[in-house]
Amino acid sequence: MPTVFLTHTPDMLANYYGARALAALRELATVKLNETGRVLDARALAQAARGCDFIVSDRQTAGPAEVFPLVPDLVAFLRVAVDIRNIDVAAAGAHGILVTHATPGFVASVAEMAIGYMVDCARHITAATLDYRADREAEPRMGRQLKGATLGIMGYGAIGEYLAPLGLALGMTVLVSDPFKTVATPGVRQVDLPELLKQSDYVVCLVVANEETENLMNAAAFAQMKTSAVFINLSRGNLVDEQALAAALDARRIAGAAFDVGRAPDQKPSLFLARRADVIATPHTAGLTPEAAEHQAFDTVGQVADILAGRMPAGAANPQAAHRLARFQKL
Model confidence pLDDT, tens digit, residues 45-54: 999 999 999 9
What residue type is 85 in one-letter code? R
Phi, psi of 153 (to 5 degrees): -110, 115
What pTM did the predictor assign? 0.85
Q: From CA 68, how far away is CA 52, in angstroms rounded?
A: 12
Low-confidence ranges of the chain (pLDDT < 50): 331
Beta pairing, strands 256-259 & 230-233: parallel
Q: What is the per-residue pLDDT across 276-293, written as a single tens digit (0 to 9) for each?
A: 999 999 999 999 999 998
Most distant CA pair in the chain, distance: 69
Q: In the prediction, which pLDDT does 329 show?
A: 72
Cross-strand pairs, 233: 205, 259
Contact 109, 234 (CB under 8 A): no
Tell me how far CA of residue 329 lies from CA of 28, 84, 131, 312, in angstroms.
Answer: 16, 26, 62, 11
Beta pairing, strands 230-233 & 202-205: parallel
Contact 242, 279 (CB under 8 A): no
Say how far residue 214 (Cα) sits from the centre of its chain. Answer: 16
Q: How is the beta sheet containing 54-57 ordered, strand by strand?
A: 30-33, 3-6, 54-57, 76-79, 98-100
Q: What is the DSSP letter of 316?
A: B
Q: From CA 191, how far away is CA 298, in angstroms rounded?
A: 37
Say how far residue 38 (Cα) sits from the centre of its chain. Answer: 21
Q: What is the per-residue pLDDT across 20-37, written as a single tens digit (0 to 9) for each?
A: 999 999 999 999 999 999
Phi, psi of 240 (to 5 degrees): -120, 130
